[in-house]
Structure 1
Amino acid sequence: MFKNFSKWFNYLDLYTRLLACTTVFISLLVSSMIYFILYDLHKSIIINHVELLNILIQVISLYIITTVEFIKYYDLAIILEQIYLTMQDICYLIAVEPSGNIISIFPDNTFIDPILLNILLRKNIKFHDVVINISDFVLSYSWQSHDIVDIVIPLNFTNNHNVNLHIGLINNVISLFNSSMIYTFILSVITFTGIWIVSFCTIMINFFMINESVKYIRSGINSICLGNFATRISYKNLRGLIGLGSDFNNMSKRLELYEQNNVKQLLLEKSKLETVLSIIADGLILLDQDLRIVFVNSSAYKNLTFLKSCIIGNYFTDYCPNYINRQIIPLLNDLVNCNPNVVYNISDYTKNITVYLNNDTSKTVELVITAVFDFDKKILNGIGISIQDITDQIVLNEAKTQFISNVSHELRTPLFNIRSFLETLSEYSSSLSEKQKMEFLEIANQETQRLTYLVNDVLDLSRLESEFIDILEPVELHEIAPPIIQTSYLRARTKKVKLSFQISRNVSTVYGYSNLLVQVLSNLIGNSLKFTRIDGRILLKIYLSKLFDYPVNDRLPRIRVEIIDEGTGIDELDQIRIFDRFVRLENNVHTLEGTGLGLSIVKNIIEKHSSDIHLYSELLIGSSFWFDLAILEKKS
Structure 2
Amino acid sequence: MAAATLVVSLVMSGLTFWAVNTIQQDARLNDTRFGSDLGLLVAANAAPAIADNNLEELARFSSRFFQSTSSVRYLIYADEGGNIFFGIPYSAAEVQNSLTIKRRIALPEDYSINSALPFVRQHMTPAGQVTDVFVPLNHEGKYLGTVAIGINPNPTVVTSSNLTRDVTIAVFISIWTMVILGAVFNALIITKPIKELLIGVKNIAAKNFKQRIDLPIGGELGELIASFNYMAERLESYEAQNIEELTAEKTKLDTLLSTIADGAILINTDMEVILVNPAARHLLNWQE
Q: Normalised by the size of structure 1, how large is the TM-score? A: 0.34
2:144 corresponds to 1:166: no
Shift of 1:243: 3.8
Q: Which of 273, 278, 283 is the aligned partner of 1:386?
A: 278
Cα distance change, pair 68–230 in 1 and its aligned pair in 2 (3 A)? closer
Shift of 1:37: 0.1
Task: Map residues 53-72 of structure 1 onto 2, 5 A cutoff.
Answer: 53-65=31-43, 67=45
Secondary structure in structure 2 of the residue aligned to 1:164: strand
Shift of 1:124: 5.5
Cα distance change, pair 97–70 in 1 and its aligned pair in 2 (3 A)? closer
Counterpart of 1:117?
105
Shift of 1:84: 1.7
Shift of 1:163: 4.2
Is the CA contact (8 Å cut-off) linking 1:100 and 1:120 kept in structure 2? no
Counterpart of 2:286?
none
The runs of 5 or more residues in structure 1 that have no matched partner are 1-21, 283-367, 391-636
Secondary structure in structure 1 of the residue aligned to 2:59: helix
In the alignment, the residues of structure 2 paired with residue 153 and residue 100 of structure 1 have an alpha-carbon distance, to the nearest angstrom, of 13
C-alpha RMSD over aligned residues: 4.7
Shift of 1:77: 1.8
Is the CA contact (8 Å cut-off) linking 1:94 and 1:166 kept in structure 2? yes
Task: Map residues 467-546 of structure 1 onto 2, 5 A cutoff.
Answer: none
Counterpart of 2:265?
370
Q: Which amino acid aligns with 2:37?
A: V
Deviations, residues 37-95 of structure 1 (Å, cap 9, x unaligned): 01110111012211221221133134335545886842122101111222223222122
Secondary structure in structure 2 of the residue aligned to 1:387: helix
In the alignment, the residues of structure 2 paired with residue 381 and residue 238 of structure 1 have an alpha-carbon distance, to the nearest angstrom, of 55
Q: Which of 85, 93, 97 is the aligned partner of 2:67?
A: 85
Q: Which amino acid aligns with 1:266?
A: L
Cα distance change, pair 224–95 in 1 and its aligned pair in 2 (3 A)? closer
In the alignment, the residues of structure 2 paired with residue 143 and residue 113 of structure 1 have an alpha-carbon distance, to the nearest angstrom, of 24
Task: Map residues 304-453 of structure 1 onto 2, 5 A cutoff.
Answer: 370=265, 372-374=267-269, 378=270, 380=272, 382-387=274-279
2:19 corresponds to 1:37: no
In the alignment, the residues of structure 1 paired with residue 196 and residue 128 of structure 2 have an alpha-carbon distance, to the nearest angstrom, of 67
Secondary structure in structure 2 of the residue aligned to 1:108: coil
Q: Which of 79, 98, 102 is the aligned partner of 2:80?
A: 98
Q: Which amino acid aligns with 2:213?
A: I
Q: Which of 209, 212, 235 is the aligned partner of 1:255?
A: 235
In the alignment, the residues of structure 1 paired with residue 210 and residue 109 of structure 2 have an alpha-carbon distance, to the nearest angstrom, of 100
Deviations, residues 469-494 of structure 1 (Å, cap 9, x unaligned): xxxxxxxxxxxxxxxxxxxxxxxxxx
In the alignment, the residues of structure 2 paired with residue 246 and residue 113 of structure 1 have an alpha-carbon distance, to the nearest angstrom, of 93
Counterpart of 2:117?
133
Deviations, residues 235-279 of structure 1 (Å, cap 9, x unaligned): 516887324323322322332343344245335434543553465
In the alignment, the residues of structure 2 paired with residue 170 and residue 110 of structure 1 have an alpha-carbon distance, to the nearest angstrom, of 24
Q: Which amino acid aligns with 1:384?
A: V
In the alignment, the residues of structure 2 paired with residue 32 and residue 388 of structure 1 have an alpha-carbon distance, to the nearest angstrom, of 89
Cα distance change, pair 110–373 in 1 and its aligned pair in 2 (3 A)? farther
Shift of 1:224: 4.5
In the alignment, the residues of structure 2 paired with residue 278 and residue 251 of structure 1 have an alpha-carbon distance, to the nearest angstrom, of 40
Deviations, residues 397-425 of structure 1 (Å, cap 9, x unaligned): xxxxxxxxxxxxxxxxxxxxxxxxxxxxx
Q: Which amino acid aligns with 2:34?
A: L
Is the CA contact (8 Å cut-off) linking 1:232 and 1:249 kept in structure 2? yes
Deviations, residues 551-599 of structure 1 (Å, cap 9, x unaligned): xxxxxxxxxxxxxxxxxxxxxxxxxxxxxxxxxxxxxxxxxxxxxxxxx
In the alignment, the residues of structure 1 paired with residue 102 and residue 226 of structure 2 have an alpha-carbon distance, to the nearest angstrom, of 83
Deviations, residues 262-312 of structure 1 (Å, cap 9, x unaligned): 245335434543553465457xxxxxxxxxxxxxxxxxxxxxxxxxxxxxx
Shift of 1:126: 3.6
Shift of 1:151: 1.6
Q: Normalised by the size of structure 2, how large is the TM-score? A: 0.67
In the alignment, the residues of structure 2 paired with residue 239 and residue 191 of structure 1 have an alpha-carbon distance, to the nearest angstrom, of 31
The runs of 5 or more residues in structure 2 that have no matched partner are 94-100, 283-288
Q: Highest relative contact order (Cα 8 Å, sep 6+), 1 or 2?
A: 2
Shift of 1:233: 3.2
Shift of 1:146: 5.9
Q: Which amino acid aligns with 2:36?
A: Q
In the alignment, the residues of structure 2 paired with residue 70 and residue 201 of structure 1 have an alpha-carbon distance, to the nearest angstrom, of 71
Is the CA contact (8 Å cut-off) linking 1:216 and 1:238 kept in structure 2? no
Is the CA contact (8 Å cut-off) linking 1:92 and 1:110 kept in structure 2? no
In the alignment, the residues of structure 1 paired with residue 202 and residue 108 of structure 2 have an alpha-carbon distance, to the nearest angstrom, of 91
Is the CA contact (8 Å cut-off) linking 2:77 and 2:85 kept in structure 1? yes
Cα distance change, pair 379–104 in 1 and its aligned pair in 2 (3 A)? farther
Aligned residues: 265
In the alignment, the residues of structure 2 paired with residue 148 and residue 211 of structure 1 have an alpha-carbon distance, to the nearest angstrom, of 57
Which is higher, the Rg of structure 1 or of structure 2? 1
Q: Which amino acid aligns with 1:165?
A: V
Is the CA contact (8 Å cut-off) linking 2:132 and 2:151 kept in structure 1? yes
Cα distance change, pair 256–81 in 1 and its aligned pair in 2 (3 A)? same
2:187 corresponds to 1:207: yes
Q: Identity, % of aligned pairs?
A: 22
In the alignment, the residues of structure 1 paired with residue 253 and residue 110 of structure 2 have an alpha-carbon distance, to the nearest angstrom, of 124
In the alignment, the residues of structure 1 paired with residue 248 and residue 25 of structure 2 have an alpha-carbon distance, to the nearest angstrom, of 95
2:222 corresponds to 1:242: yes
In the alignment, the residues of structure 1 paired with residue 19 and residue 7 of structure 2 have an alpha-carbon distance, to the nearest angstrom, of 18
Shift of 1:144: 7.8
Shift of 1:383: 3.4
Cα distance change, pair 381–224 in 1 and its aligned pair in 2 (3 A)? farther
Q: Which amino acid aligns with 1:105?
A: G
In the alignment, the residues of structure 2 paired with residue 78 and residue 389 of structure 1 have an alpha-carbon distance, to the nearest angstrom, of 140
Counterpart of 2:97?
none
In the alignment, the residues of structure 2 paired with residue 277 and residue 369 of structure 1 have an alpha-carbon distance, to the nearest angstrom, of 7
